[in-house]
Structures are given as structure tokens and as C-alpha cells.
Amino acid sequence: MEVIVAKTAGFCFGVKRAVDKVYEQVEKGTEPICTYGPIIHNEEVVKDLERKGVSVINSVSELKALKEGTVVIRSHGVAKEIYDIIESKGLHLVDATCPFVLKIHNIVKKESASGSEIIIIGNDQHPEVEGIKGWCSGPVTVIESAAEAENFVQESGKRLCIVSQTTFNYNKFNKLVEILSKKGYDIIVLNTICNATEERQTEARAIAKRVDGMIVIGGRHSSNTQKLFEICKNECENTYYIQTLVDLDVHSLPSMGCVGITAGASTPNNIIEEVQKNVRNEF
Ligand code: SF4
């Protein structure tokens, strides 16, 4: 039995940087520390930080209720409003927004200020998209599906500036842009999908194509892991989505000659290694 582990599996640069920044604050003994939303979509890491005294706040009202301490902004980034609240309350800010997300904030800020209407290709409910919306000063629309792209009617008469959530599926992004481009509007397209996501998706697709079974490891709420699962499932029917080794019932897997493993950007290395070791031992 062959086990192929994707080279791009696990923490990406932005997530590693964000997690490291929180642990740095813990080591410094800065107190109290909180993160605005869970630092990554990985329950194991979040629980470990909780044990070390790092709490998670989830709303503007919780942020407003803080009297002191350090607030860490995670790699997804936040709306301008959040920075303003942190500043007005005199809280210590540690900004771990991924530079690729900051780049999108700057684009939409500049483009809205110069009169463009912004289209974000992504999931409207995702915190990264919420953050991006919070840097737009004019009209903004979020489009996730082909039907939404087909139904989109531009009412503002302005130039359209299309950006993408960093973790969006590259091929799907191109398809949606193609639909929008056919409408004859004045459009500027900026592909802001980050390389880490693109490389991870391309490698996962290539591995899933040649294996009998594929294991995708990542948090339940991790958007980039969900996308990876979607891509792998398309190529390989026997694709399993697990958070940790506990979720993997190796005995229920059909006998396989070759198994592939990949993992989302918020999956720590030790979890990937544990799954890999177990799969090798069991088969
Ligand atoms: S997936 Fe890309 S944009 Fe998102 S945190 Fe990682 S490096 Fe940054």
C-alpha cells in the first residue's frame, strides 16, 4: 500500500504567522489576551491556547465591553470598524491579518474610493469576506454561485471591480468571472486567490486523480478544507473529511492500493503525521 502525503498539506504562511503571533504574546506574559474570532479553524489549537489563557471574542459587542488587554486580529482580517473600536478603547492591537488579505482590503478601499462597484467572489458568511466588505465605501455585492452571477444586474452604472476571497476555488472563480464578463459591463478583474490555496488545490486534485482513497484533514468550519474536500471528491469517490485521527475509521475503508492525504491551511503538522502513521500501520 502506497501513501502519498501532499507537500502543501497543513499550515500556510499566513496561518502559521498568526498562530505564532498569539504564542509570542503568551510567552511575553501579556495579559489579558484575546483573539477576535478563533485564531484558526482548528479546535485543537484553539483549546490549547484557551488552556494558556487566551480567550476568544466573537462579536463587536464583546469587543466594546473589553476594558483592557491585547486583541489579536486573525489571518482572515476584519473590517475597518474593528480597528477603529480597538483604537478608541486604547486596547493593544496585534494585527495578524495575512498580507494577502491586507492586499484585498487596500484594493477595495482604493477602488471604492475612486467610484468602482466591488464584487467579491466568495462566501458572504465567511469572516474574510465580511472583513473585505468592511473596507468598501460604496456598493458591494458578494457572488458565490453561477446562478448568482447569471442573475447579477449592475444598477450603479459604475465600473465593476472583481476580487476574490483568498481561499476560493480557482476554476470556479474563472467560471464566475466568465459569466460576469459576458454582460458587457466595464470590468476590472483582480484574481486575489492566494498562491498557497491554488497550489494546495492543484496538488490535491492531482493526487486524488491517481489514488484509490483520499483523506482530507481539517476543521469542520474551515472553508479552504471544505473546498479541498469538494475538489478531491470530484476526482475520487472514496474521499473522507476528518478533523483528527479519531474521525477516521480505517477498518471501514475498502481495501486500497494507494491512499492520498492532504490537509487544510489550519491543520497542525502533528495531526497530519498522526493520520499518516496510522494509515501506514493499518494497511
Ligand atoms: S490561505 Fe493564503 S491568504 Fe489565507 S492565510 Fe494562508 S497564506 Fe494567507
Confidence at residue 20, expressed as pLDDT on a 0 to 100 scale:
93
Range scoring the smallest mean pLDDT among 129-133, 226-230, 277-281: 277-281
Q: Residue 113 Cα, ligand 1 centroid: separation in angstroms?
A: 26
Tell me which CATH code domain 98-187 carries. 3.40.1010.20
Confidence at residue 23, expressed as pLDDT on a 0 to 100 scale:
95
Name which residue sits closest to atom 2 of ligand 1, judged by CA: 194
Average pLDDT, the chain: 92
* Tens of pLDDT, residues 233-261: 999 999 999 998 899 887 766 678 899 99
Confidence at residue 30, expressed as pLDDT on a 0 to 100 scale:
76
* Tens of pLDDT, residues 61-90: 999 999 999 999 999 999 999 999 999 999
Ligand 1 closest atom vs CA 101: 3
Q: Residue 144 Cα, ligand 1 centroid: separation in angstroms?
A: 19
Which residue would you say has higher pLDDT here, 44 or 243?
243
Confidence at residue 238, expressed as pLDDT on a 0 to 100 scale:
93
| Residue 166 CB less than 6 A away from ligand 1 | yes
pLDDT-derived band at 42 (thresholds 50, 70, 90) equals confident
Q: Residue 98 Cα, ligand 1 centroid: separation in angstroms?
A: 6
- Say whether domain 1-8+193-280 belongs to CATH 3.30.70.420: no
CATH topology of domain 12-97: Rossmann fold (3.40.50)
Q: Residue 100 Cα, ligand 1 centroid: separation in angstroms?
A: 7
Same fold, 1-8+193-280 and 98-187: yes
- Binding site for isopentenyl diphosphate: residue ranges? 41, 76, 126, 222-224, 266
* Tens of pLDDT, residues 182-229: 999 999 999 999 888 889 999 999 999 999 999 999 988 888 899 999
Are 163 and 118 in contact by the 8 Å Cβ rule? The answer is yes
- Binding site for [4Fe-4S] cluster: residue ranges? 12, 98, 194
Q: Tell me: pLDDT of 41 over 80.
A: no
| Residue 194 CB less than 6 A away from ligand 1 | yes
Query: What are the two backbone dihedrals, phi and then psi, of residue 94, each rounded to the nearest 5 degrees?
Result: -120, 110
Q: Tell me: pLDDT of 283 over 70.
A: no
Mean pLDDT of 162-189: 94
Report the percent of the chain where pLDDT is more than 70.
99
Instruction: Give the residue numbers marked as catalytic.
Output: 128
Name which residue sits closest to atom 7 of ligand 1, judged by CA: 14
Give the span between the Cα atoms of 162 and 195, in whole angstroms: 18
| Residue 101 CB less than 6 A away from ligand 1 | yes
Name which residue sits closest to atom 8 of ligand 1, judged by CA: 14
| Residue 98 CB less than 6 A away from ligand 1 | yes
Give the domain ranges of the chain.
1-8+193-280, 12-97, 98-187
| Residue 100 CB less than 6 A away from ligand 1 | yes
Q: What SS3 string covers the chain?
A: CEEEECCCCCCCHHHHHHHHHHHHHHHHCCCCEEEECCCCCCHHHHHHHHHCCEEEECCHHHHHHCCCCEEEECCCCCCHHHHHHHHHCCCEEEECCCHHHHHHHHHHHHHHHCCCEEEEECCCCCHHHHHHHCCCCCCEEEECCHHHHHHCCCCCCCCEEEEECCCCCHHHHHHHHHHHHCCCCCEEECCCCCHHHHHHHHHHHHHHHHCCEEEEECCCCCHHHHHHHHHHHHHCCCEEEECCHHHCCHHHCCCCCEEEEEECCCCCHHHHHHHHHHHHHHC
